[in-house]
């Protein structure tokens, strides 16, 4: 905790050193970026593989590239299959560019031709088995032979083509389950493979089911693969276009142009329309409030100074949207040594989960208890809203150490700016456990709108008057 002078309040914020949009967390949880209605994985190859191969789990995995996004736009069943997948992995520079347009950043390009071999190498190390389903007759077998040569120790549980072999779905599933495969790779092409998995993956007993497109053709040398240097440079589409000009022109020229237009519209919708409306609401309410509250702020400042030693305000580093750190302001409601005493009080927390809260916290001053009871200690955060670091409505701004301890799903609350008020704040605050708070924050992130924000602002007055959960 660091105390500040009034002159520091309007200092220009220092940009976070982290890349834009990356959620910085010390946990091994899988992070994601929201694109085209999907939660796209933003993590390293190693992190994703460890998550997929963890004992006891079952995951249906899909890849998203520019072509997939174009097909989603016109095929509702495929879009539904992608939205219900357990993991969606980014495949190609197009998805990376689309993420950057929204202000986010993907940690790694997890294209299937590199990711799947890495996954199978780790599977071989763990003694796991893989089943190959799909491709023209003979392709799955040829791909399996190539995998046995390139991945020592890999167990091939079985193969089956994607034509006659997949025609009888029930028989195919029985064969897969009888093989005791841990990983099932399905290569039927987009959108057929992901639709097939969406319909039937719940009947397959393997821990990982994954649609892999034309991977079997690559492995079986039916399609020439781009050199590693080309893949690293993220220009495989240029190489593919040169190798197959007629077939690829539609996908990589017309298709990529269509995708980038769609990505730009998506980014504009996320960053401009919604952001402008939310920012306009914030400023429309905050600017008059700051002018009206000047006498109250002066009175509170005098009371704090008379009650205990120390400054009126304090600052604290909090985690904002996309994991960016910012300095949050509050009226001081604790003694000046509060931060040094926090560790010794952690076991006395009255709240479940990673967020500390104690009803009888001895660090709180006399005037501080009144300020907290009435939620007046939060008023200086109107300055954070004015500076654009917070919004009037949003999830509670978390401490860096809290974010570091978040489970994977909790990181989704960082998709929007933290707020002075929100669903959690008007529903009981500290009386609500951590898991329930995350449910509320994720629900808000998915449904946020101007009418919802106005409703929550109005409900805040009732919450302040009742004082429920405020201590």
Q: How far is CA 224 from CA 141, 242, 348, in A?
A: 18, 12, 63
Q: Cα–chain-centroid distance for residue 446?
A: 12
Distant-in-sequence, close-in-space partners of 225: CB < 8 Å, separation ≥ 6: 113, 218
Q: Crossing angle, helix 169-178 and helix 192-200, to 10 degrees?
A: 70
- Dihedral (Cα; 114, 116, 122, 128), 10-degree rounding: -160
Q: What angle do CA 299, 301, 307 make, to 5 degrees?
A: 100
Kindly calculate the radius of gyration of the chain based on its CA atoms and give it in whole angstroms.
26
What pLDDT is attached to residue 6?
Answer: 36
Check if the beta carbon of residue 148 is closer than 8 Å to that of residue 179: no
pLDDT along the chain (471 residues), means of 10: 40 35 41 90 95 93 92 92 95 85 84 94 97 95 95 96 93 97 96 96 96 91 64 55 54 60 62 71 89 91 90 91 90 80 58 54 84 86 92 92 86 88 79 82 84 90 65 43
The angle, 0 to 180 degrees and rounded to 10, between the axes of the packed helices 93-101 and 66-74 is 70
Are 266 and 35 in contact by the 8 Å Cβ rule? The answer is: yes
Cα–Cα distance for residue pair 268/107, rounded to 1 Å = 22
| Longest Cα separation, the chain | 85
What gap in Å lies between CA 386 and CA 384, rounded to an integer?
5
Peptide linkage before 192 cis (omega within 30 of 0): no
Whole-angstrom distance, CA of residue 322 vs CA of residue 28: 17
Residue 144, CB-side half-sphere exposure with 13 Å CA sphere: 22
How high is the pLDDT of residue 448? 81
Q: Quickly tell me which residue has 């980038």 as its tokens.
A: 260
């Amino acid at each position: 905790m660091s105390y500040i002078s009034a002159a520091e309040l309007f200092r220009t914020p220092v940009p976070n050193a982290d890349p834009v949009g990356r959620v910085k967390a010390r946990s091994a949880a899988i992070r994601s970026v929201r694109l085209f209605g999907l939660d796209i994985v933003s993590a390293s190859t190693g992190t994703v593989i460890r998550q997929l191969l963890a004992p006891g789990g079952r995951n249906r995995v899909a890849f998203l590239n520019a072509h997939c996004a174009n097909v989603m736009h016109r095929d509702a069943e495929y879009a539904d299959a992608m939205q219900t997948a357990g993991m969606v992995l980014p495949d190609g520079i197009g998805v990376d560019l689309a993420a950057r347009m929204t202000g986010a950043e993907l940690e790694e390009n997890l294209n299937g031709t590199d990711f799947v071999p890495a996954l199978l190498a780790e599977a071989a190390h763990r003694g796991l088995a893989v089943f190959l389903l799909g491709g023209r007759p003979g392709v799955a077998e040829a791909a399996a032979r190539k995998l046995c040569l390139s991945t020592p120790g890999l167990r091939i549980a079985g193969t089956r083509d994607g034509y006659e072999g997949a025609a009888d779905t029930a028989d195919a599933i029985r064969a897969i389950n009888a093989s005791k495969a841990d990983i099932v790779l399905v290569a039927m092409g987009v959108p057929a493979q992901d639709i097939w998995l969406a319909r039937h993956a719940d009947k397959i007993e393997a821990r990982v089911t994954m649609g892999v497109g034309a991977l079997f053709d690559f492995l079986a040398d039916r399609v020439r693969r781009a050199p590693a240097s080309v893949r690293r440079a993220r220009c495989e589409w240029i190489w593919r276009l040169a190798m197959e000009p007629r077939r690829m022109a539609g996908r990589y020229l017309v298709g990529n142009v269509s995708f980038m237009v769609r990505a730009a519209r998506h980014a504009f919708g996320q960053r401009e329309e919604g952001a402008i409306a939310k920012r306009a609401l914030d400023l429309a309410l905050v600017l008059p409030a700051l002018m009206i509250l000047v006498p109250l702020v002066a009175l509170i400042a005098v009371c704090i100074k008379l009650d205990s030693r120390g400054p009126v305000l304090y600052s604290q580093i909090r985690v904002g949207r996309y994991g960016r750190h910012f300095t949050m302001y509050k009226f001081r409601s604790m003694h000046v040594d509060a931060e040094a005493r926090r560790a010794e009080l952690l076991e006395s927390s009255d709240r479940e989960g990673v967020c500390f809260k104690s009803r009888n916290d001895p660090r709180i001053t006399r005037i501080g208890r009144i300020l907290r009871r009435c939620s007046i200690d939060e008023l200086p955060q109107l300055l954070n809203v004015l500076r654009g670091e917070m919004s009037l409505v949003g999830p509670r701004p978390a401490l860096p150490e809290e974010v570091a301890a978040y489970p994977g799903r909790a990181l989704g609350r960082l998709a929007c700016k933290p707020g002075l008020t929100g669903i959690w704040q008007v529903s009981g605050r500290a009386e609500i456990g951590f898991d329930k708070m995350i449910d509320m924050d994720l629900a808000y992130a998915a449904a946020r709108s101007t009418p919802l924000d106005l409703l929550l602002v109005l409900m805040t007055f009732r919450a302040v008057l009742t004082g429920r959960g405020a201590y």
